[in-house]
Amino acid sequence: MGNFFGRQRNAYVRVSLPAVCFVWQIAMIILFGVFIRYNEESDAHWVEHKKTNNITSDIENDFYYRYPSFQDVHVMIFVGFGFLMTFLKRYSFGGVGFNFLIAAFGIQWALLMQGWFHFLDHSTGKIYIGVENLINADFCVAGSLIAYGALLGKVSPVQLLVLTLFGVTLFAVEEYIILHLLHCRDAGGSMVIHAFGGYYGLGISWVLYRPNLHQSKRLNGSVYHSDVFAMIGTLFLWMFWPSFNSAITDHGDGQHRAAINTYLGLASCVLTTVALSSMHDKRGRLDMVHIQNATLAGGVAMGTAAEFMISPYGALIVGFCCGIISTFGYLYVTPFLEKYLKLQDTCGVHNLHAVPGMLGGFVGAIVAAAATESVYSKEGLINTFNFEGKYADRSVGTQGGYQAAGTCVAVAFGLVGGAIVGFILKFPIWGDPADDNCFDDEAYWEVPEDEETIPPVLEYNNHMIHKHQDIAETNFSVEQS
């Protein structure tokens, strides 16, 4: 087995990548034809539905309520996550391009998987979709994109499609367990999305450990312009995170409160990240890695408790703590994981998603358990925690316990599922790059030649000649430069 898994890697995907894309897309077409239909608000029978239900205006169609949030979430998935991964000096095509590929396939598979678990009409055998399904599909694929961050530059596009296939499937299962069987509340996905996605990526990365990855060390870093591009992703994510956490909350106060709490948590997180980053450097300089990533941890941690009455100052406290924890993770935990646990985490998803997501789940559990009727009102408690039907008699303390259990389920699904998928991806049939060819776009992309540059010494001499025409010669030489 050691000889089998230790075979020489070959990044040739001319057959496997087109085959997987064509076959899986055709499969999506067939499955959509069999199962997927428009729901009552997107079907042409909407006119009849309005009359039957005494709806007087098209503005009451859920599209007009949800679509602005869907737009923001969609931008986060394709632009925010994509550009956040362009920090590597020679892997920008792979960062944003493979993010595009994962998301495009993932949202199709997610509509089916989530539909079978949550929206299947057993009387007709069909899945009826609308704008809320599109938001949920984006949420679902976010877990696989987070996992990609841990593997950035080390895997082939075929492996990424396999990762997404299993990642979306696992996501749908753990989401069903957490949200339906345990009846947890997790509007922004601290548990379901971030904790699962982070630990899913870490589990895969641990199994796919490369002892000779140092051969590509020269490319595992950034340059000035790549960090600027990555900062674009950070800013898109940071600005739209309130929409992400509030997109599928209940109409009214829940969505309003989720946006406010996330907004404040993110703001607080920035200041503590900057403070700790500056304190670590002897000259007080900031590290762009911290600013690009740790500043977002507050949004991750606010996902579960966003719609709860955590209070504005509580949101600031969560952001404050997560800024410190995430920055500390980039400074000390990531090097420790690679050195002692043989876990290579390219983007540091452990510090941005896994740990803040887990903490966010436990914060939600504490806030839920501490909820009182005086703070929420009786109707407010019922509405916020959906204490209706068979859950009408559930106490807030019991709800807090289930919230904590849901967090553990997400972490377990991520770690165990990631280890299993990692073993599948370890087979030498996927066209992954060799150890000395990681973090390089040339393995899978046609890369244009770098623009020819003038040697610095000639630039200097030309500049001096044009600026001071009276200088006939200079003592500056190539040897001195």
Catalogue all structural domains in the chain, each as residue range(s) with its CATH number.
Answer: 71-119+130-443 (1.10.3430.10)
Q: What is the pLDDT of residues 192-233, one digit of tens each?
A: 999 999 999 999 999 999 999 999 999 999 999 999 999 999
Residue 455: band (very low, low, confident or very high) from pLDDT cuts 50, 70, 90: low
Pair 120, 176: CB distance under 8 Å: no
Pairing of strands 120-121, 126-129: antiparallel
Query: What letter represents residue 231's amino acid?
Result: M
3-state secondary structure of 374: helix
Region 315-326: mean pLDDT is 98
Element (H, E) at 37: strand 36-38
- Tally helices (H) and strands (E) across the chain: 21, 3
Rounded to an integer, what distance in angstroms lies between the CA atom of residue 189 and that of residue 141? 12
Contacts of 57 (CB under 8 A, 6+ apart): none
Mean pLDDT value across residues 320-337: 97
The answer on pLDDT for 421 being more than 90 is yes
Q: Each residue of 129-145: pLDDT tens digit?
A: 999 999 999 999 999 99
What are the angstrom distances between the C-alpha of 61 and each of 67, 87, 197, 249, 441?
10, 41, 32, 16, 45
> 326 with 355: CB under 8 angstroms?
yes
Is-contact 276 330, C-beta < 8 A?
no
The pLDDT tens digits of the residues spanning 345-362 come to 999 999 999 999 999 999
Which carries the bigger pLDDT value, residue 467 or residue 317?
Answer: 317
Strand-pairing partners, residue 36, are 127
**Three-class SS state of 129:** strand
| Mean pLDDT (whole number) for 303-310 | 96
Residue 463 has pLDDT above 50, yes or no: no
Rounded to whole angstroms, how far apart are CA atoms 149 and 422?
14
Residue-wise burial string across 355-382, b where 16 or more C-beta atoms lie within 10 A, e elsewhere: bbbbbbbbbbbebbbebeeeebeeeebe
